[in-house]
Every structure is written in structure tokens, then in C-alpha cells.
A and B are shown apart, each in its own frame.
Chain A
Amino acid sequence: MQQLDEIRANTLPLIEKAENLSALDAVRVGVLGKNGSLTGLMKNMGVMSPEERKTFGATVNAVKNEIVSALDAKKAALEAKEMADKLAAESVDVTLPARPVQQGRIHPTTQAMEEALTIFAQMGFELAEGPDVEDDWHNFEALNLPKEHPARQMQATFFFDNKNMLRTQTSGVQIRTMENQKPPIKIVCPGRTYRRDYDATHLPEFHQIEGFVVDEKANLANLKSVLVEFFKLFFETDDVQVRFRPSYFPFTEPSYEMDLGGVLARNIGKEWIELLGCGVVDPRVLQNCGIDPDKYQGFAFGVGLDRLAMMKYGIPDLRPMFEADMKWIKHYGFVPLDIPTVTSGLSLNGGKKCD
């Protein structure tokens, strides 16, 4: 029994002091191994009387259990430490830059176009497209601009030798749509347009979006509602006023210029911003496309997409929109997955850009 006490008294401190798993294992082998001290004591039990064996056995087992659990506990502690040491050794400087990625940008005019389409889609407009090169009929004649009409001079036009031209407005798409489809028609057509004009505020090429509705009752009051609603949604504010000034476009009668008031105008110190041309579809245009103007009527409007993008996103200058400057697009562009939807908001814009 005295031996047993000695083994216990010697072993437990050894376990406690073991510095690593192999030292701990050596302790285990020294006590519980084939030739271990405790194992040796237990071998003696064979020569004991049953009485002795019972008491001795119980005591030995108690000591053994105590040592085993001390060993297990120490082992777990040593393993945890060893892992911790290993991980500590593996640590890196996580403040170093991330693996380089390059994220591109979406052009603001495209973003504005997709935003506009999203809004018009909710109002039931469909998207229509047409060619950049137009013939006289679709760009002028059918739009109530007969040859030699002085209003043709309003639209400085690029011509080809075959008398075709680059479209000066997207309105040719109205004609193409009416040639292929009977009313009701409710379309928006975005696209490149061209004017022979190049100075501080005019570019020879720019983007327009045009809306066009023909049915049995669409009128100016509908146009007003559509535009007010559009600008509220597009500029993401209720503070929108509009004003209609009579004007002249050959393809609408009456024709108006729409000015935008409210916060956007105030932001630039103005009462009104000239923004858009619109009007009631001229009966001659309907007639030119074989649509009875006594039965059908409608409205049309056209607005510069580049301009809308500039106003909404604080882009001061038109020219860089076509200059393909990396610094500009990185600054004013949109992250690729910032896809406009009405429900989730049209754009993050301010959303942090990486790279």
C-alpha cells in the first residue's frame, strides 16, 4: 500500500510537469506500460488472498483511474497548446492587400437607360429599337417633314451619298413600329442619335429615349401623368414639378417643351430646367402610317439619356461621356451588379466600389 501511495505521489506531479505529448507518454509508459510501476503492482495481486485482493484491487483501480484521467486531461491541454503554437507560427500579416481583382464599370448612360426602361416597363411600355442609318421616309418625310421643309434645318443631319442619313432622332422607330403593328402601341425606344453639331454643349452623337403611345384615347393629360410619374421615380424624389411651354416639332401638334422644376432645378439655382420635347402625335404622322387619326390618337416624348444621367448623378460635363477615359469611368461608372429594379431602388451609386 505504501508503494501505491508512492506511485501516486510521484506520478501526478510528473504528469503536471510534462512539457509535451512525448514526455507525457513516457510518464504513462513508466506507470501504466507493460513494465510500468503500477502494472507491476497489479501483477502481484495474483498471490494475494481473495480478501486482500479485493481491498487492494479497489485501491489500485482508484489510483489508476486518477492517473488515467490526469493523463487524459494533460494530453488534451498539451494538444490544444500544440495547435495554438502551430497556428501562431502560421500567422500572416492580414493587413497586406487582398489578391488583386479588377472590377469594371457600367457607363452612366447605360445605367440611366436601364433605369428608365425599368420604370417604363412598370407602366406597360415595351422596348422598340431601330437602325442608326435611316432613309428619308423614316427620318423626315413620314414624320411630317417634307423635302425642303425649313424645319429640316433644325436638325443638322449627316448624309451619305445615297441620300440615306444617320438618324437625327429616334422617332423613325415610331414609324417603323406603326408600319408593323396596329394600335394600341405603347413603346419606348432608346438609342444613339446624330446631329452635325460639335461645340461645348453639343456632340455629334448622343443618346435619346423616346416614348410613343397611340390608342383610342391617349392625350396630353396622360402624357403629363406619365412624365411626372417617370421623373419622380427616376430622380427618386417626390419634389418634382413640370411645366409645359408650347413649342414646335413637325411630328406633334400641339407640341411642347417640358421644363422640370423642384429639387433638381433648385440644386442648380434655377426655377426650371429645359429637359424634354413632347406633344400630341400629329394626325399627318398617323395618316402616313395608315392609321386613322379620327379613331386613334396619342402622344410622344423624347429626352436625352446622357443628360438625364448627368443630372441624376452629378456629372458636370457632357463630352467625357464619349471619351472613354478610364479615370472618368472608374469614378462615374456603376459596379456591374448594380442592376436597376424598381423594388430595390434604381442604383446604389454611392455603393462602395472596389479597385
Chain B
Amino acid sequence: MRLSLAVLKKYLDTNASVKELAEKMTMIGLEVEEVQDLATSLQGFVIGEIKAVEQHPNADRLHVLHVFDGKDTLQVVCGAPNVRVGMKSILSYPGCVIPKFNEKLEESTIRGVESQGMMCAEDEIGIGTDHTGIIDLDTDKPAGTPAAEALGADVVFDVNVTPNRPDCFGVKGVARDLAAAGMGTYKDPYVPAIKGSYESPVKVEIQNDTCPIYTGRYIRGVKNGPSPEWMQKALISVGLRPISALVDITNYLNIAECRPLHVFDADKLHGNIIVRAAKEGEKMMALDDKEYTLSPEVCVIADEAAAQSIAGIMGGVDTAVSQDTVNVFLESAYFAPIKIAKAGTLTGALSDSRSRFERGVDPASAVDDNARATQMILDLCGGEPSEIVIAGKEPEWKCEIDFDWNQVKRLTGLEVPQQTMEKILKDLGFGVKGNKISVPSWRVHDVSLQADLVEEITRIYGLDTLPDAPMRAEKLPIGTLLPNQKRESTVRRALANQGLNQVMTWSFMDSKLAKYFGSKNLRLSNPIASDLDELRPSLVPNLLSAVKRNQDSGVADVQLFEVGPEFYSDVPGGQKLVACAVRAGNALPKSWLESARGVDVFGAKQDAYVALRAANAPDNMVVGHNVPSWYHPGRAGTFQLGKNVLAVFGELHPMVLKVFDIKTPVVACEVYLDAIPAVKQKDNKMQPTLKKSQYQAVTRDFAFVVDKDVEAQKIISTIQNVDKNLIQNVSVFDVYAGDKLPDGKKQIAVQVVLQSMDKTLTDAEIEGVSAQILNYVQKNTGGELRK
């Protein structure tokens, strides 16, 4: 919220400097994000008076101005269309920092004509948004007057008002806080009740519970003109445009006192006011020139003909005041925050009234503020007020808290004398009677519990004296990470050690791409971009996009991995933790030792295997073929335990790569960390005793010729099962298919290590096992020993 110092001073008597005020606001919870001080930011800028306007010799749209600055006449090239002789505007010299650009103006030559300065538009010096022409000052002040003085320099604080402090959406609330924090004396703008001279011809009836109380007043014979300069400045300083006195009064009281009001042109009203639910489909043209289609959840202020205002949000065009307005009907009401929030969401209408009502306006202020606004209208526009019209009654708002003064110490550790606490609460408007604290009406939206009072006291008191109270572990947990958490960390480090680079990509992706990766249609209702509209069903696609980006930027060989969630449902827990790695281009770069080797399925298999083993997966996994559609059907596989798939690896499907416009082969693996059986929790971490055989190990090589579709895994497991005690290891050391073998055949050569725990194997025993191996391999795979 923008807050003008001039307005603040109407509610706070203070000698504090701008800096002190800003710091204090920040330290009591009203964070000042920026202080805009024209006297500082427009140092050196002055009023310049245009003495002559000439056409630029080389540019149709430019003028060459002769600008008098009180001493000299400067030549200034200017592109604004609104220049004229005698006009006063703001002149800046070379060396002045132009706020909009935060850069120093330099002397320059524009299309061959020297320019010794610049005439400024509103936006360039940060006092508005207008850039249609240079500022046209309507002032008696002479050329050379400093700009800050010419513009009635005000200081504007940009305050971040948190949603729990609706009262501080009015300057009045900020003043009250500052006074309580020792920054001066609060001045209450209270106006006594105004006696009307006649009964209001417009009556009010409430038919909707959005509005507990509605007060109105008829004022006849007003004269609506421009509002006084101080009010216009107050509005301009916070970014509002002055319109007319009647409108400006409502806007001013809104920003200054958090009092949303509405003024109807009474002559445009048809009969009485009815506060009612909108009819389904009822339409209203609002002051923002948009037509709103309403529904019964939205409360409207209607006359006997139609809805004339969306209650608490925005007035309608039909009954708006104008320069010609003579009779008005003033509205000062209270609307329930939740109902306004709901109506606001439904209509989508944004206004300063809505933002205040939905956070919570002072529920006890409708009547008093009716007088306040009436008085202001009478002062500025004249007229004759009716008696006040009151429909409904103030909502129940009174709140009393039994306060244990020790709560401050209990919850914060801060020692504050009770007297001090009492004073702080009283200064903030709370009633204090012993332990009974009554909450002022303007704070009831936020304060209702003891903890809330603790907050009030500590934020004004400050935490400078907050003690240090170390909180060492009374008992260190044994193993902070759960086994699966530890596993995640180990897998990350293991994959990085494999030469893969850890990245983090969005949890969402483009639904148009998701369909290639088993999309579960987990669409966001409100995506931030159309290519980030679905929760990723797999980590592969976002990594593929990354491969593409890297390759486009000149990195051809890409090795990436991510450990993160993939999603299968839009309910809590509908996600799996996956470690996914991709490799594109060359697995190893070309070097003087060996030529470049492209990525292949066995590299992906290695990555998967390394991750699985780092996660303590058992070593009896088997390789399966049931791979997702985004993999190459013949060059991909799974690691599984029974039907439980722990990982998928392989070359990616060429069609998928085509979708991503990737020209190199890409291999990937996805390791489903949650699917890996949990590490068995034991009482201790002791290993079984190592058993080493003291007898000689024997190796035997076998070269089997099998049909091409026989898988190595089949041969290996067949051999392992021949004699689990003697056969220590089976490894494949050669695979061959070619001219030297019959068509449809291949050779797989394996080395078998035999070793007994309790004796040296005799030749006969070795021959016996070998014969069994040949026999079983022949039986299970049709494999014959190569002759």
C-alpha cells in the first residue's frame, strides 16, 4: 500500500524523520519496501518555462524548445506533442538522474541539434504513469523553482500491509500503531453525529446476510466540482486519479481511514434501496466499464429497478455521480468479509473497496463514518443533509480475552514488565481491566486469542532483548535419515560418480508431450503456461527437453540425472520417487586412446544397476522385457524381482526422440526407488562372518552355440543352478554371431569358476560338473559346445 506522509500527518503528530518513521513501521510489522521522496529523487530538477517552440529541422515529430530556467535560456529537443509557448513543465539538466531509467541524463545532439536538457513526462520522474506528453504545470511559481516544491513534494512509503491488518489499509490504522510505538500522538478524526433537517426520501431494506448494517444519508443541493488541492495530491501520491469532489471524498476516506463508501446520484435511483442477492444472470455495468453477470451468491445494492452496485465491491455506471449531480445518497455499510471474498472471486472485480471489505473493515464504524463522510461532503460540496437512515444493526463483534500475562514469557522467552504490556495494549486501543482484555472493533478480525495479544505486545515492544536460549539435542536421534531417505542420497552420489550430472526439472510438463509417456491426465486447472499444464508421469520427458536445450547450445554429449517424484494420481501420495538418468551423444568422448563410443543400452543398464546396488537392491534381480512404450522395444529391459519392476533401462524409442527433435541416440534408465525392498532392520549392523575357501579355485571356459533368440541370462542361470555349492561365478566373456557359424546361430562363451569349501576338487569331480553343465545347457537352451 502506498502511504503519503502528508496524509499520515493528518492522523499523527510527530517530529520523527522520514527515516525513523520508515524504520519503525518496518519493525512493528508494517514493512516499508520503499520510500519515495521527491525532494531527494528530483534533486536538481526545476520548473522550466517554454519561451519558444520551433520545428526541428531534421525530424517532423521533434521540436526545438527555448526553455527558461529562471537564469538562462536553454535549447531543448523534445518529442512531446503537447508543447506550447508559455507552458511550464519540469526541466532536467545533464547530470540529473532520471528516476524512470535510474540513469544520468547526458548532453546530447539529437538529429543534428544540440539538446541541453530534457522536459519530463509524469512517468519519467515517478509521479504518475502518464507518458502522452510532458507535464503541464498549472502553477504561479516562477521558472527555476525546484521541482519538488513545484509538485508539492510529498514522501510516499510503500508499505507491505499483511492480510491480518485490514485496519492498516487506512492511514489512520498506521498512525495508531506508530503512536503506540512511541512515534508521536494519534489524532482521531471523529466527527459527532450530524443532525439532519429532514427525513431521507430514500429508504433502505436489507434482505441479505452479507450486509448486517447499512447506513445511508440523503444530501440535497450539492455542487460537485474538483476536490481541493490537498485531497487531489493525497490521491495522486498513492496512484489514484482525482475525478470530482464526491468521488475523491470516497476514495480519500478509503485510503486514509479504511472506510469504503459509495455515493449514488440520488436522482438516478428508482425508489428505495434494497440490499439483496443478485438474481441469477442479472447484469450490471460497473464503474470499471465492464459488464458483470451476477449470481445469487453475490450481494447487490439495488433500487426498485435494478442492481446499482455490487455490494462492497463496485458501484454501477447508471447511478454514478457526475459533474451535474445535485442530490446524492451516501452509503456507509458493513459487509461480511467471507461473503465479499466469495463475491469477489466469482465476479473477478478488483477494487480498493473489495480488498478492504474482504479483509475486514471495522464492524462498529458504519454509523460514525457516515457522519465523517457527510461532514466532508458538506464542507467540500455544500448541500443539506437528511437524517441518517440505518437498516440492520452492527454485527456482534465484541471480544474479551482472559489474558495470562505470563503468556508473553511462555511463548517468546521475552521479559516484559506488566505495566509496559498494559500500556502497549491500551495505546493500541485495547481495553485493559485486570486480566480482561477487550479487543477494539477495528482489530476483531485478527485478535481473539491470547497468542494474538502476545503478538501485539512483542511487535510493539520489539525483540531487541530476546534472550538466547540454546536448544541442543537432549538426545541425538540414532540415524536422522530413515533408510529410504539415506538410500535416496546414496543413489544421487552413486549416479554422479557414474559421470552423470544431477539436475532439477519441473514437476510439471507439457500435456502434449506427456501423452507419449503414459500420461495419467493429471492436468492443472490453472497452469501458469500451456507447456507446464500436467504433472509429469515420468522424469524422462523433462530430461529429454534438457538434452535438446543442451545440444542446441552446443553440448552434444549430455549426461543428466534427476531424483524426484513422478506422479500417477492427483491425490496426496499419488507419486513415486524415481531416479532417472539420460545419456545422449557419445558415452565417452573421442580421445587419443580410443575412438568415441556412442551411448548404448548397456550403459543405461549399468546406470540402472549402479543405482539399484547403491540402494541396496538384492542381487537376484532378473532382466525382463516388458518396457514402457517410450523405450526401443528391442533394446530395453527391466530389472525385476518377480513381477515387481525395480528399474527400466534402454535406448529411447526413435519416434519419441523425433518428437523432441533430438538427432542423436539417447539412452535412459528409470529406477523406482520406492519399489526396492526396504533394507531389513536388524538389531545391529554386524555382517555374517566371512567364509573363505582355502582350496584351489578352478576355471573352465565353455563356448556354446545356441539359437540367436536364446538369451545369455538363460545360460547363466542354468549353469548357476547346476551346483550352487561348487559354482562360484559365471561370466560371459565373448558373444559372436557371424560367417563362421550357421545362419540363426550365435556363440556365447562363458567362464565358470569352481571351488569347494572343504576340499581340493579332483579331475573327476571337475569333469563331472562340466558334463552336467553341458547337459543342462543343452537341455534348457539347446546349446551345444562349439567344436
Q: Which of B126-134, B563-571, B636-644, B747-755 lies at the interface with chain A? A: B563-571
Taking the complex as formed, is B546 at the interface, i.e. its CB lies under 8 A from any CB of chain A? yes
Assembled-state Cα–Cα distance A122/B474 (Å):
10
Per-position 1/0 for B495-534, Cβ under 8 A of A = 1111111111111100000000000001111111100100
**Contact call A124/B526, Cβ cutoff below 8 A:** no
Whether A316 is near chain B, meaning CB under 8 Å from some CB there, is no
- CA–CA, A248 to B575, complex, Å? 32
Give Cα distance in the complex from A325 to B482, angstroms.
31
Chain A residue at minimal CB-CB distance from B560: A324
CB contact between B476 and one of A114, A122, A213 (< 8 Å): that residue: A122
Interface residues on A, range: 35 or more
- A124 and B549 contact, Cβ closer than 8 Å, known pairs A104-B498, A220-B412: no
Chain B residue contacts of A148, Cβ below 8 A = 337-338, 341-342, 345, 358
> Which residue of chain A lies nearest to B481 when distances are taken between CB atoms in the complex?
A127
Distance (Å) between the CB of B162 and the closest chain A CB? 3
A262 contacts the other chain (CB 8 A): no
| Chain B positions within 8 Å of A330 at CB level | 501
Contact of A131 among B163, B503, B572 (CB under 8 A): B572
B472 close to chain A: CB less than 8 A:
yes
Q: Cβ of B374 < 8 Å from any Cβ of A?
A: no
Do A123 and B473 have beta carbons less than 8 Å apart? Answer: yes
Look across to chain A and name the residue whose beta carbon is closest to the beta carbon of B160.
Answer: A247
Contact of B777 with A by CB under 8 A: no
Q: Does A25 sit within 8 A of B, measured CB to CB?
A: no
Please measure, in the bound complex, the distance between the C-alpha atom of A127 and the C-alpha atom of B565, giving whole angstroms: 18
Complex-state Cα separation, A154 to B161, whole angstroms: 12
Interface membership of A99, Cβ < 8 A: yes
B496 and A245 within 8 A (CB): no
CA distance A107 to B489 in the complex (A): 12
Taken residue by residue from 343 to 382, chain B's Cβ proximity to chain A (1 for < 8 Å, 0 otherwise) reads as 0010000000000001100000000000000000000000
Residue in A104, A160, A325 whose Cβ sees the most chain B Cβ within 10 Å: A104
**Inter-chain contact B549/A247, CB cutoff 8 Å:** no
> Given that A246-B455, A297-B410, A323-B549 are contacting pairs, would A160 and B524 also be in contact in the complex, using a CB cutoff of 8 Å?
yes
B410: chain A residues within 8 A (beta carbon): 219, 297
Query: Is B561 part of the contact surface with A, judged by Cβ < 8 Å?
Result: yes
In the complex, chain B residues 447-496 whose Cβ is within 8 Å of any chain A Cβ: 449-452, 454-455, 458-459, 463, 466-477, 480-482, 485, 489, 492-496
Q: Which of A104, A207, A322 contacts B506 (CB 8 A)?
A: A322
Instruction: List CB contacts (< 8 Å) of A202-227 with chain B.
Output: 204-205, 207, 213, 218-222, 224-226
Q: Are B468 and A221 in contact (CB under 8 A)?
A: yes
A347 at the B interface (CB under 8 A): no
A337 touches B524 (CB 8 A): no
Contact of A133 among B338, B527, B567 (CB under 8 A): B567
Closest to A282 in B: B451
Number of A-B contacts (CB under 8 A): 272
In the complex the two chains form, what is the Cα distance from A122 to B470 in whole Å? 13
Answer whether residue A321 sits at the interface, using C-beta atoms and an 8 A cutoff: yes
How many angstroms from the CA of A192 to the CA of B501 in the assembled complex? 19
Instruction: Report how many residues on chain B are interfacial, defined by Cβ distance under 8 Å.
Output: 101
Q: Give every chain A residue within 8 A of B194 (Cβ-Cβ).
A: none
Option from B468, B472, B542 in Cβ contact (under 8 Å) with A123: B472
B458 contacts across to A, CB distance below 8 A: 220, 246, 254
Look across to chain A and name the residue whose beta carbon is closest to the beta carbon of B590: A100
Which of the segments A7-15, A29-37, A161-169, A233-241 contacts the partner chain? Answer: A161-169
Contact at A284–B525, with CB atoms within 8 Å? no
Interface centre among A99, A102, A130, A254 (most CB of B within 10 A): A254
Q: Show 28 residue pairs from A and B whose CB-CB distance is below 8 angstroms, ordered by the A residue.
A: A100-B593, A101-B499, A102-B588, A104-B496, A104-B502, A117-B481, A131-B573, A131-B575, A133-B571, A133-B572, A160-B522, A160-B525, A166-B507, A198-B529, A218-B471, A221-B469, A222-B413, A244-B463, A245-B27, A246-B459, A254-B455, A280-B451, A280-B454, A323-B546, A324-B505, A326-B550, A329-B501, A337-B497
**Shortest 7 CB-CB contacts between residues of A and residues of B:** A124-B473, A221-B413, A102-B499, A246-B29, A248-B162, A324-B546, A254-B455
B interface list, Cβ under 8 A from A? 26-29, 31, 162-165, 337-338, 341-342, 345, 358-359, 410-414, 449-452, 454-455, 458-459, 463, 466-477, 480-482, 485, 489, 492-508, 522-529, 532, 535, 542-543, 546, 549-550, 553, 555, 558-562, 564-565, 567, 569-575, 588-589, 591-593
